[in-house]
Amino acid sequence: MDTHAVKVFDWGRELIKWVAIVTMTVDHIGLLFFPEYQIFRIVGRLAFPLFAYLLVLGMESTHNIRAYFTRLLIFALLSQVPFTLVNGTMWWEYVNIYGTLLLGLAMIYLIERSSVFFVVPLALSAVIPVDYGVYGTTTVLLLYLLRKDWRVGVSIFVVLNLVLAATGAQTQPWSILALVPILLHNSGRLSIKSEKEPGHPSLRKYFFYVYYPVHLAVLYVLKLLA
């Protein structure tokens, strides 16, 4: 019996990563250069749910949860300066998206171990000023639930975003569109698998981590030069 499992590459997951970083970049370009045009922010609303879904997939597939936590923490620290420069805040006033994902990862890690302490990261996101706040960790939780029962996850996610829209977040309902690629992947229709992985795996993996702080820094410099 062959005990060596064949590593399968998921092209659908890779596609979701690219859609996430493109929509995030569009959002940040609109924030810095075209704040009067709402279309940029509408496109950007798709990014975070996609990143949250990728986090859940990452939790499922990782062979080393400690390394996963460590990577998120390192890039949270590396991203904080460009993040605060872009947002015009002091470094301690507002924590970048990696901080949100770190809390989300801790939450689902505890849920997987049937620990009631999963509420602690959720509560912390309401206290610590992380990007997207408690909405961010709740979205991670709902997309985790979607992997277990898509009807439950989708229903609550839709209601959550519509409620936020009713309270004044006018572009928030557009986040619901992120469910299209998420559900396609979750159902297997977008989960295109191959035994051949393109390029250099480590380089490609770290590109997605590095892209966030680098693109913020580049956009900030371009804004200064504009």
- Distances 172 to 42, 167, 177 between C-alpha atoms, Å: 8, 10, 10
Burial 179-190 (b: 16+ CB within 10 A, else e): bebbbebbeeeb
- Lowest mean pLDDT, pick from 94-98, 113-117, 127-131, 191-195: 191-195
Closest residue by Cα to residue 40 from 214, 171, 223, 167: 171
- What CA–CA distance (Å, rounded) separates 120 from 217? 32
Count each helix (H run) and each strand (E run) in the chain, helices first.
10, 2
pLDDT tens per residue, range 197-215? 666 677 778 899 999 999 9
Note the pLDDT of residue 197: 67
Q: What is the dihedral of CA 81, 45, 139, 197, to 10 degrees?
A: -80
Asked whether residue 192 is domain-assigned, the answer is yes
* 3 is a domain residue: no
For residue 51, count CB atoms less than 10 angstroms from its CB and return exposed for 0-12, middle for 13-18, buried for 19 or more: buried
Residue 4 lies in a domain: no
In a domain? residue 98: yes
Domain of 107 in residue numbering reads as 9-225
- Give the model's confidence band at 1: pLDDT under 50 very low, under 70 low, under 90 confident, else very high: very low
Q: Is residue 1 included in any domain, yes or no?
A: no
Q: Is 2 a member of any domain?
A: no
**Number of domains comprising the chain:** 1
Q: For residue 85, is pLDDT > 60?
A: yes
pLDDT tens digits, residue range 140-165?
A: 999 999 999 999 999 999 999 999 99
Would you say residue 16 lies in a domain? yes
